[in-house]
Amino acid sequence: MKSAFLFLVSTIVTGAFAAIGSMIGHFFGSHLGVMLGGVFGGLFGAIFSARIAVRRQWIGHEDFYPTTFGAAIGFLAAAVVAMKTLSTPIGPVLSSLLIGFGALVGSWIGARKRSGSLQG
């Protein structure tokens, strides 16, 4: 159940921060401002969603950085997919699921690394 909450919160919070960042970037008046605002907002959202997961004890404190990194990579991948599929509404919506998936993968890697299952 904790994984489901992590997935949902990472997807929703990161997407919301990306949207807010885009709106703030729009005040600077250029397409570049919208893009940069969205990217920075999404990256901040990935950090914030991982902090929520630690606070709610869905992940261990040691898994904060791997989860953040996974959500950030998922967000960047989702942004690329969304930009390539803007002509259809399904592409950008489904691409946002990459954020939650990235957060889950990051938390699993962090947990495996901590348990000593990964050989490094």
- 73 is in which domain, residue-wise? 2-114
- pLDDT 10s digits, 35-87: 999 999 999 999 999 999 999 999 989 999 999 999 999 999 999 998 899 88
Q: What pLDDT is attached to residue 83?
A: 87
**pLDDT digits over 83-109, tens only?**
899 888 898 888 999 999 999 999 998
What length is written for the chain?
Answer: 120
Does 120 map to a domain?
no
Span between the terminal Cα atoms of the chain, in Å: 30
32: in domain? yes
Q: Is residue 46 part of a domain?
A: yes
Task: Give the number of domains in the chain.
Answer: 1
Choose between 51 and 115: higher pLDDT: 51
Give a yes or no: residue 119 inside a domain: no
Mean pLDDT of 5-25: 95
C-alpha span between 49 and 72 (Å, rounded): 10
Residues 47/90, Cβ–Cβ less than 8 Å:
no
Region 8-13: what's the mean pLDDT?
Answer: 96
The Cα–Cα gap between 61 and 55 comes to 9
